[in-house]
Amino acid sequence: MADTISLDNHPELRFRTEEEFLQHIIKTARALDWDLIYHTRRSDKSTPGYPDLHMIRDRRSVFVEVKKIGGQLSAEQYEWLEALPYTGAEAYLWDPGDFGIIGEVLA
């Protein structure tokens, strides 16, 4: 019998690209009633380092930078993620390894 790989133990295998993972986050957010979702489609045309997602629900403002497994933050991305919580916003860096906590954070 061939060995099988559990996706529960290897969330990085669920998503082939960063974009697939990002779309999973957006679908999860919509399922949890996050209606105001902004995604920068062309990061080369926006302010350097601005997070990939900005979501608002009730009195919560959540920013998310999405990376593939092993992806590195640029200096500008780090600066944004460090500064945003001082404004009262939540800021997260998520990669597929965070698959299990996304629903909890957005609940």
- Of 8, 6, 2, 74, whose CA–CA distance to 43 is shortest? 74
pLDDT reported for residue 69: 86
Residue 63 has pLDDT above 70, yes or no: yes
Question: pTM for the full model?
Answer: 0.86
Residue 9 has pLDDT above 80, yes or no: no
Residue 1 has pLDDT above 50, yes or no: no
37 contacts 53 by C-beta, under 8 angstroms = yes
